[in-house]
Amino acid sequence: MAVSLDTTKLSNFIDGKWVDVRKSTAVINPATGEEIVDVPLSDAGSVDDAVAAAKKAQKEWALVPAPQRAEILYQVGTLLKERKERLSQLLTMENGKVLEEARGEVQEGIDMAFYMAGEGRRLFGQTTPAELNNKFAMSQRAPVGVVGIITPWNFPIAIATWKSFPAIVAGNAVIWKPATETPIMAYELAKIFEEAGLPNGVINVVFGSGQMVGNAMVHHDDIRVISFTGSNDIGRNIAADCGRKLKKVSLEMGGKNAVIVMDDADIDLAVEGILWSAFGTSGQRCTACSRVIVHEAVKEKLEEKLLQQMQHLTIGNGLNETIKVGPIINKVGLEKIKDYIEIGKKEGATLLEGGYELSGTDYMGGNFFIPTLFTDVEPTMRIAQEEIFGPVVSLIPVQSFEEAIEVNNGVSYGLSSSIFTRDVNRVFQAQRDLDTGIVYVNAGTTGAEIHLPFGGTKGTGNGHRDSGVQALDVFTEWKAIYVDYSGKLQRAQIDVE
Ligand code: UN1
């Protein structure tokens, strides 16, 4: 049975209270065009209110022992687990991804809750010898204070958990701006935090546009960290603004990820890996495969098998369990994909399959684009360089392993890469030479697990990582502590023989 929301208009969640905002906009189901709920369009005043509440709450929260803070995350994990099916269906309604993938995304949130709750009993620092006798030296993590997280529509719950859970377990308070396209996951997660007993003001959700709410967060002096996932253009601006304020900023800004298929690869396996990572989530993952770099010896075979298998990709409303490829998030996303098809054709790439928007009764009201394959693509073409964020793959033939690595690395992004080969030497050379934050061997480019660092090199980020224990570095400061128990003044670097 279809699930439903308990409200027709969402509210902000500030200081543990649900706060109405006058201005709002409709959230549209991308598979049907139907309005699901209204989402607030808050102004800078709401951010000020949220920060004031967060500042107050954080002082007390930081004094709660971390294992006790973690108990609340365990409770959050339990509630997420209990509501997995409800959340997954709502996620499919607001984002469009097919139900199986929605369930996978909610599972990422559950995994992150239990993983980060475990950190409540670790949050390891170091103890280390001191230079002087009768002196003790150690380092430990300290919370930063009030942190701001800005999350995207393509993983509205998983990415929110990657950022908010480490922030919370480390003793920070959070201001969270979810994407206006997908606010329902934020609403449901805020309710879960409330029920789990998180003290008022430790998490505050402010709905609204990047221009208004995001900007106000970036410029607010009392928000000491911004963690952002979204487009490269916006990320660069955020970094520049945060730089002037000496604010810590963690960015994750997409990819142009490739699967390399070598001449000795298991071609059937490679086809499966490509289909899943290129057309799953309709290509709307930062980690999606949008280039296939193929050794010329197996190019024809790969093309043939890909074309065959693409015929089995069912497209439609993701709530229907037989559907494999859901809609594109909105009309803007759809237009961008259509533009890239034209660009690819003009550049001289061969359109092997697809290349058009789907219309007709089955697709009425939704934004559907057929899985598309270009071949004989040159590595320098725009379709091989720029992020399209749709179900479009460019096949690039190469003559050697070395050329494959060079082509993989010849883009401005560096998130994820993959190689299909049976040669153990190539496996280890590839994992060393592929310039991306994530490398897969004999698997597609998607499917990162939450206990490993998520992020990438070059235009993908600015050196920080989401998820994994590394996420704690974003939300903590290192404090070095020296305890002298000699009873006299000992001078480091001076009173040593
Ligand atoms: C994203 O696309 O921004 O590795 C996140 C994956 C998922 C997360 C993707 N676990 O594809």
Residue 465 · residue 456 · CB < 8 Å: no
DSSP state of 305: H
Radius of gyration, alpha carbons of the chain: 24
Over residues 429-447, the mean pLDDT reads: 98
User: How many beta carbons lie within 10 A of that of residue 22, not counting itself?
Assistant: 8
252 is catalytic: yes
Amino acid letter, 372: T
Q: Can you read off the two tokens belonging to residue 171? A: 């003793």
In the prediction, which pLDDT does 414 show? 98
Over residues 244-268, the mean pLDDT reads: 97
286 is catalytic: yes
Choosing from 287, 416, 465 the residue with most ligand 1 atoms within 8 A of its CB, the one to mutate for a pocket test is 287
Q: What is the pLDDT of residues 292-351, one digit of tens each?
A: 999 999 999 999 999 999 999 999 999 999 999 999 999 999 999 999 999 999 999 999
Q: What is the pLDDT of residues 28-71, one digit of tens each?
A: 999 999 999 999 999 999 999 999 999 999 999 999 999 999 99
Write out residues with Cβ below 6 Å of ligand 1. 108, 154-155, 285-287, 446-448
Q: Measure 333 CA to ligand 1 centroid, in angstroms.
A: 18
In the prediction, which pLDDT does 1 show? 54
Amino acid letter, 3: V
Of 76, 300, 302, residue with least CA distance to 174? 76
Say if residue 302 is exposed, middle or buried (CB neighbours under 10 Å; 0-12, 13-18, 19+).
buried
CA distances (Å), origin 413, targets 148, 332, 416, 460: 25, 22, 9, 5
Choosing from 284, 454, 465 the residue with most ligand 1 atoms within 8 A of its CB, the one to mutate for a pocket test is 454
Helix axes 424-433, 401-409, angle to 10 degrees: 20
In the prediction, which pLDDT does 76 show? 99
Q: Which of 108, 252, 303, 387 is catalytic?
A: 252
In the prediction, which pLDDT does 362 show? 86
Q: Which of 286, 303, 386, 387 is catalytic?
A: 286
Ligand 1, atom 11, residue with closest C-alpha: 446
In the prediction, which pLDDT does 2 show? 72
Q: Measure 288 CA to ligand 1 centroid, in angstroms.
A: 8
Q: Measure 222 CA to ligand 1 centroid, in angstroms.
A: 30
**What CA–CA distance (Å, rounded) separates 277 from 325?**
11
**What CA–CA distance (Å, rounded) separates 339 from 346?**
11
Q: What is the pLDDT of residues 103-138, one digit of tens each?
A: 999 999 999 999 999 999 999 999 999 999 999 999
| Long-range contact pairs involving 348-353 (C-beta distance under 8 Å, separation at least 24) | 348/378, 348/381, 349/374, 349/375, 349/376, 349/377, 349/378, 349/381, 349/383, 349/394, 350/374, 350/375, 350/376, 352/303, 352/307, 352/395, 353/307, 353/310
Domains defined along the chain, listed by start: 12-253 (3.40.605.10), 257-441 (3.40.309.10)
Over residues 146-153, the mean pLDDT reads: 98
pLDDT grade, residue 400 (50/70/90)?
very high
Q: Measure 470 CA to ligand 1 centroid, in angstroms.
A: 17
Of 107, 108, 111, 113, residue with least CA distance to 69? 113
CA distances (Å), origin 120, targets 67, 127, 251, 364: 4, 18, 25, 49
Choosing from 111, 182, 259, 285 the residue with most ligand 1 atoms within 8 A of its CB, the one to mutate for a pocket test is 285
CA distances (Å), origin 404, targets 17, 256, 260, 286: 54, 14, 7, 21
Q: Measure 433 CA to ligand 1 centroid, in angstroms.
A: 22
For 346-410, give the DSSP string.
Answer: HHT-EEEE--SEE-SGGGTTS-EE--EEEES--TTSGGGTS---SSEEEEEEESSHHHHHHHHHS
Q: What is the pLDDT of residues 230-247, one digit of tens each?
A: 999 999 999 999 999 999
Report the predicted TM-score, pTM, of the whole model to 2 decimal places.
0.97
Q: Measure 416 CA to ligand 1 centroid, in angstroms.
A: 10
Atom of ligand 1 nearest to the CA of 454: 4
Atom of ligand 1 nearest to the CA of 277: 11
Over residues 157-165, the mean pLDDT reads: 98
